[in-house]
Amino acid sequence: MSALNKIARTMVSHRRGILAADESIGTMSARLESVGVAPTEENRRVYRELIVTTPRLAESVSGVILADETFHQQLDDGRSFPEYLSDIGILAGIKVDTGAKPLAGASGEKITEGLDGLRERIADYVRRGATFAKWRAVITIGDGLPSDRAVRANVHALARYAGLCQEGGLVPIVEPEVLMDGDHSLARCRQVTTETLEELFEELDLLQVQLDGIVLKPNMVVPGSGSGEQVTVADVAEATVETLRETVPPAVPGIAFLSGGQDPEVATEHLGAMQGLDPLPWELTYSFGRALVGPALEAWRGQEQNRDAAQSALSARAVANAAAR
Ligand code: 5MM
């Protein structure tokens, strides 16, 4: 077993999943402001410390994805976030993309940036304790969208990122997110997700990315949030697993879903229903952001006296998702 494969398997095995706490400064600031907390560097640090010090987190979380700012911050006891996570048996990951920007010539579509200087940044993150990385590409469904050029450009960047990570000793989480925004049907989401994943695996092959040393982080196959289409948990589970069976090679050790704006409890139900569709060639787990920490942020609201309630809210979601596995 290669070192990368061993890390990837640790990330997705034993009923644990990955906590995405890597909101960019802009996103995290907006989330803090939405619950009445001033968006300062110190408040972002305090909030992230609350999240990672949740009691027994390591029983349901194998890895935490950090943003660059958090990666270089310390807990109150002086340990860096990667050091603390390692001490409690959780792998430290780092978001290495620098965000999704407008793609030239493709109105309304985005390309994720961050390849320049990535080899050197990876070496620095590895020295500071990172074992895996994350890069998120966003694919928008709309009138005539996504365009071929947006899908191609994004899967190309994902494959180049993945290759650089593996060269530097990090397991890449490869995240091609087909957004839930829009009024499209479940069938359309399935079609776009299938095409995106097909192109992604062609590109990973072209760039000689070692498939047993990645974790795929896709969207679940769901109707657009504005579609009004009524679907059951079983519909989503079946459509998602069928899409993945058609596109994801069995060499990939694990698939860790993003939640994408789904209600936290519904996302958990979807994850649970997929486990019933055995046999699956890969582990299926979670790499949720909002669906894990959303209720905790709501409960906290920046008040020290709400700390226990916030940690209990995160614990409840983490334990429920581990159980769903
Ligand atoms: C936690 O949010 C991540 C970073 O977002 P920005 O760079 O846009 O601030 C995001 O990539 C996240 O990891 C995935 O979207 C999964 O999170 P959700 O909330 O969709 O489960």
Query: Does the active-site annotation cover 217?
Result: yes
Candidate of 48, 258, 297, 321 to mutate for ligand 1, largest count of ligand atoms within 8 Å of Cβ: 258
Cα of 1 vs centre of ligand 1, distance in Å, is 30
State residue 257 phi and psi, 5-degree precision: -75, 145
Q: What are the tens digits of pLDDT across the range 35-61?
A: 999 999 999 999 999 999 999 999 999
Q: Would you give per-residue pLDDT tens digits along the chain (325 residues)?
A: 799 999 999 999 989 999 999 999 999 999 999 999 999 999 999 999 999 999 999 999 999 999 999 999 999 999 999 999 999 999 999 999 999 999 998 789 999 999 999 999 999 999 999 999 999 999 999 999 999 999 999 999 999 999 999 999 999 999 999 999 999 999 999 999 999 999 999 999 999 999 999 999 999 999 999 999 999 999 999 999 999 999 999 999 999 999 999 999 999 999 999 998 879 999 999 999 999 999 999 999 999 999 999 999 999 999 999 999 9
What is the predicted pLDDT for the residue at 105? 87
Q: Where are the alpha helices (DSSP H) in the chain?
A: 3-12, 25-34, 41-52, 68-71, 81-87, 118-127, 148-168, 186-206, 233-247, 264-275, 290-300, 307-324
Cα of 107 vs centre of ligand 1, distance in Å, is 23
Residues with CB under 6 A from ligand 1: 20, 22-24, 27, 136, 177, 258-260, 288-291
Q: What is the ipTM of this complex?
A: 0.93
DSSP 180-205: --SS--HHHHHHHHHHHHHHHHHHHH
| Spatial CB neighbours of 260, under 8 Å, sequence gap ≥ 6 | 177, 179, 180, 219, 220, 222
Cα of 126 vs centre of ligand 1, distance in Å, is 22
Query: Does the active-site annotation cover 175?
Result: yes
CATH of domain 3-324: 3.20.20.70
